[in-house]
Amino acid sequence: MLSATFNNVFIESMAVNLPSKRVTSEEIEERLAPLYERLNIPKGTFEKLTGIRSRYFWENGAMPSQVATVAGHKALKEIGFPKKYIKALFSCSITRDYFEPATACLIHHELGLEETAMVTDVSNACLGFMNGIFMMATLIESGTVPAGIVLSGETIYKPIDYCINYILEHEELSRSELLNLLPTLTLGSGAVAYVLAHRDIATNTHRILGGVGRSATRHHNLCNGNGDYYVAQLSGFDPIMTTESSKLVSSAAKLGRKTWKEFSKLFGWTKDDVDHIFCHQVGKQVNGSFYKTIGLDGSKEFTIYQEYGNLASAALPTALVIGAKEKDIKQGDKILLTGFGSGLNSLFLGLEW
């Protein structure tokens, strides 16, 4: 078990940058019409199965660093201390600009942060942003840095476009092969940024109490994608992702049960103590039975996947930003962030608002 408790780390600000190009599940089904007709699949099946009615994409050419930089500028505008205190920057998206340099380097330059800052990418599938928060909080708690910024800019369109074309071009696909491709169509794009700060300079009350992480890497083969560098996609590389969705979700629930048990023991929380839950936004597959397996009350979860789809590493942190505005979260409320990433990894973080 990986665990840590923090006494001095606060979320100073949060911001999102979301695309304007909305693509509905109905539109995707229209592109898949030949498949639907051949297999006699009723229209509306995809949304019924996933609960996702739409997702959003950037205009062609938007780079991960560019969209994350916009979110970063928004977050920096909300901080209550000079920008010079930002001494670390982590870019945590799955999609990255290049093989090298780190996408974080481009963002750091565009944000105009000082040369004394630590700059690096943190990549771990959909769990990257949560890992970034945990690592940044550790740096702040230890006194290594007074504040830092964690960002994610997901620019997911080409994998979906290619997935649809691949399905239509391969009529010989088996049912299981087809089902393993369909989760790709739940993906969407978005960017998010959090500024974390030590209590000595923080002006907000949202404290990060700590977290617990576990790995179940025997499940590393349940979700595999072969291309995340955006410039490679622009030059003609066709990325593809396959996912054994039902096995992935059930395995995540079992891993989450172990993680929650350890988290509950470390922080003394019961499921009744948790006021709000923000989970990775994969779709309707994360349902009541998922939370029953873990041992949590699923009715306390806030979701955005219905409108935005699965925003990969930006999904959970974006849900918290939107939920903080839409939900009646009160000062002192206990918030549980339940992060999961293919591989398989989990990281649960506790917040006190």
Residue 243 pLDDT: 73
The SS3 of residue 69 is: helix
- Of 341, 213, 195, 342, nearest to 279 by C-alpha is 341
Query: pLDDT 10s per residue in the chain (353 long)?
Result: 799 999 999 999 999 999 999 999 999 999 999 988 888 889 999 999 899 999 999 987 799 999 999 999 999 999 999 999 999 999 999 999 988 899 999 999 999 999 999 999 999 999 999 999 999 999 999 999 999 999 999 998 888 888 999 999 988 888 788 888 888 999 999 999 999 999 999 999 999 999 999 998 888 876 767 665 555 555 555 666 777 777 877 888 898 899 999 999 999 999 999 999 999 998 887 787 889 999 999 999 999 999 999 999 999 999 999 999 999 899 999 999 999 988 889 999 999 99
Which one of 92, 105, 126, 223 is the catalytic residue?
Answer: 126
pTM of this structure: 0.93
Measured in degrees and rounded to the nearest 5, phi and psi for residue 348 equal -105, 130
- Of 235, 192, 220, nearest to 98 by C-alpha is 235
Positive or negative torsion for Cα 226, 189, 317, 269: negative
Whole-Å CA distances, 189 to 18, 144, 228, 292, 320: 7, 33, 13, 30, 16
Residue 140 pLDDT: 98
262 is catalytic: no
223 is catalytic: no
DSSP 135-195: HHHHHHHTTS-SEEEEEEEE---HHHHHHHHHHHH-TT--HHHHHHHGGGGGB--EEEEEE
CB distance 9 to 140 below 8 Å: yes
Residue 303 pLDDT: 96
Which one of 27, 100, 114, 326 is the catalytic residue?
Answer: 100
Domain boundaries, the chain: 205-352
Residues 96 and 122: their CA atoms lie apart, in Å, by: 11
Residue 237 pLDDT: 56
Residue 287 pLDDT: 81
Residue 286 pLDDT: 78
Residue 320 pLDDT: 98
CATH architecture of 205-352: 3-Layer(aba) Sandwich (3.40)
Q: How many CB atoms lie within 10 A of CB 234?
A: 12
Measured in degrees and rounded to the nearest 5, phi and psi for residue 338 equal -110, 95
Residue 180 pLDDT: 86
For 252, which DSSP code? H
